[in-house]
Amino acid sequence: MHVRRVVTGRNQQGKSVFVSDTKVPPITLDLLPGAAFHRLWGSDAMVALPSDGSPLPIPGYFPPPGGFRFGLFTVGPDSVSLPPDLDVPAAFAEIQQKLPGLAEVLELDHPGMHTTDTIDYDVVLSGEVYLELDDGQEVHLAPGDTVVQNGTRHAWRNKSTEPCILAVALVGARPATG
């Protein structure tokens, strides 16, 4: 599914204008079958306004402290499995190339579990999904349900037969010092 992204900004006279109207293709990964990521907007630092609407570079999947990301995340059904002939080193290289920083937070011994230094605002747009925390507790989420994650260890589990689409806003935060 391509997602339409309309961007506004201000021209040199200060007038509001449409800057772009484009289709954003999903990013898919061999290591995460059924998942799709739409990286729609973001910045690694506080944005100054007014803006001309030009996209800012967002090299990493997760934002640094003070940065943000906005996009859509599709969680495929758990029944979708890895192909038996998957080239695992190539699949990890693909993640690094397409979504830098994602592989570093994935827990290989607990598939799907990850922790990030972000506050995440998640809204279920369609489908259903379970949010699992590190102690095994789960909550079922349906369209319109929202989650605010405060840097918690978690995994998304889609126990249905249909994809689940979430709108996600990630805000970079500083990790606590011990």
Parse the chain into domains and list their residue ranges.
23-172
Report CA-CA distances (Å) from 127 to 77, 143, 160, 161: 10, 6, 8, 9
Q: Do residues 53 and 20 lie in contact, with contact meaning Cβ atoms separated by under 8 Å? A: yes
Task: Please state the φ and ψ torsions of residue 94, each to the nearest 5 degrees.
Answer: -65, -45
In the structure encoding, which two tokens stand for residue 121, read together?
């605002």
Distance CA 146, CA 52 (A): 31
Q: Interior CA angle at 158 toward 162 and 22, to 5°?
A: 60
Architecture per CATH, 23-172: Sandwich (2.60)
User: pLDDT in tens for each of the 178 residues of the chain?
Assistant: 899 999 999 999 999 999 999 999 999 999 999 999 999 999 999 998 988 999 989 999 999 999 999 999 999 999 998 888 999 899 999 999 999 999 999 998 998 999 999 999 999 999 999 999 999 999 999 999 999 999 999 999 999 999 999 999 999 999 877 5
